Amino acid sequence: MGNDGGSIPTRRELVKEAARNPTATELKDKQKEHLAHRWSTCPVSHKPLVKPIVSDYAGDLYNKDAIIQFLLPAEASSVDKQEYEKFIQGRITSLKDVVEVKFETEHDEKTKTDRWICPITSKELGPNVKAVYLVPCGHAFSQEAIKEMKSEGKCVQCASPYEERDVIPILPSTEKDKTSVLERIETLRSFGLSHSLKKAGGSKKRKANGDSKLAQGQNTLETQATGADGQGRSMPANPPRSGGAQSGSPTTDLPNGMRNATTASLTARVMQEEEARKKRRRENENISSLYTKKSDEKARRDGDFMTRGFSIPANARHR
């Protein structure tokens, strides 16, 4: 055996098989084993996949409760978000970035378990069958069935219309499928949409803020033109400029951005707020001057009778 004091083993005896590259069959079996694990296990919570199941734009499957826990604030969530982020990698920032996948289930009497099948071909969806789901309805089918019915453009389960780009492969394994889902999400983001075809987070809010600022600027200009009492009055010929410019400078010297009515009104409001702050600062200084500072009080207390507030009237006469 060796190492018993009688002999020393050689490398040939220790290494039974020489190092070699895996064959195509071994690679395919390993990939199938990996897909089988991904079809049955949530990659972030490491728990079995159970309904409701959601998917992101890359076609990965998750338990919905695990994604909700990931999206909760740090103080309200008990999960390790760093571990979740290692796999999610910024693909999910809200529930708009996922779609609930609706699988058709069939009970298997032999194994006493439920399996996911394609409602058209009745094939079991898993590592042996390429599967897809539709956005936004989320119904899952085999890729073969969708190719046969792509001319219709409607889901056979709920009759919801869909476009060809909204057919998402589940757990894509080919470079073509991976490239197609990346190109799709880039196109949607350019239109301000998320994976679920809903408005992306923040785009609607920014638009609303922009509209409110525009309306506020228009109201300010109308007030300046008509006056507070509704009577018309002329606009100043030389509106003030920001940056400390003199009020007498002509309007032709204003940059293009300042010629816009909204920008001009916002600048005027900022200048008014700055003037109000200066006014409050001056008032605070006037109020503070009414009170005696501790240093002045100490000097008055330590001084002699000539400096303690006693003064001889100017009209006093010596007797």
Is residue 271 in some structural domain?
Answer: no
Which ranges of the chain have pLDDT less than 50? 203-215, 217-218, 220-259
Q: Tokens 């003037």 label which residue?
A: 275
Is residue 206 in some structural domain?
Answer: no
Instruction: Give the tens place of pLDDT for each residue, 121-137.
Output: 999 999 999 999 999 99
Neighbouring-strand partners of residue 41? 48
So what's the pLDDT on residue 278? Answer: 78
- Cα angle vertex 59, ends 53, 64, to 5°? 20
Counting the structural domains of the chain, the total is 1
So what's the pLDDT on residue 24? Answer: 82
Rounded to the nearest 10 degrees, the angle between the axes of helix 203-226 and helix 261-288 is: 80
CA contacts within 13 A on the Cβ side of 318: 0
Q: How far is CA 276 from CA 63, 246, 280, in A?
A: 55, 19, 6
So what's the pLDDT on residue 275? Answer: 79
Q: How far is CA 190 from CA 158, 176, 196, 222, in A?
A: 28, 21, 14, 36
Is residue 65 in some structural domain?
Answer: yes
CA distance 192 to 199: 6
Instruction: Give the tens place of pLDDT for each residue, 259-292.
Output: 456 566 666 766 777 777 778 777 777 666 665 5
42: CB partners within 8 A, 6+ apart: 48, 49, 61, 62, 63, 66
**For residues 230 and 238, is the Cβ–Cβ distance under 8 A?**
no
CA distance 193 to 81: 25
Task: Say which amino acid occupies 177.
Answer: D
Tokens representing residue 108 in the block: 């298997």
CA distance 154 to 39: 26
Peptide bond into 52 cis (omega under 30): yes
Is residue 200 in some structural domain?
Answer: no
Strands (E), the chain: 53-55, 61-63, 99-101, 104-108, 113-117, 131-134, 140-142, 167-169
CATH code (residue 133): 3.30.40.10
Is residue 220 in some structural domain?
Answer: no
Is residue 125 in some structural domain?
Answer: yes
Is residue 258 in some structural domain?
Answer: no
Is residue 29 in some structural domain?
Answer: yes
What domain range is 76 assigned to?
25-190
| Other CB atoms within 10 A of residue 89 CB | 10
CA distance 139 to 107: 18
| Other CB atoms within 10 A of residue 117 CB | 21
CA distance 201 to 136: 17
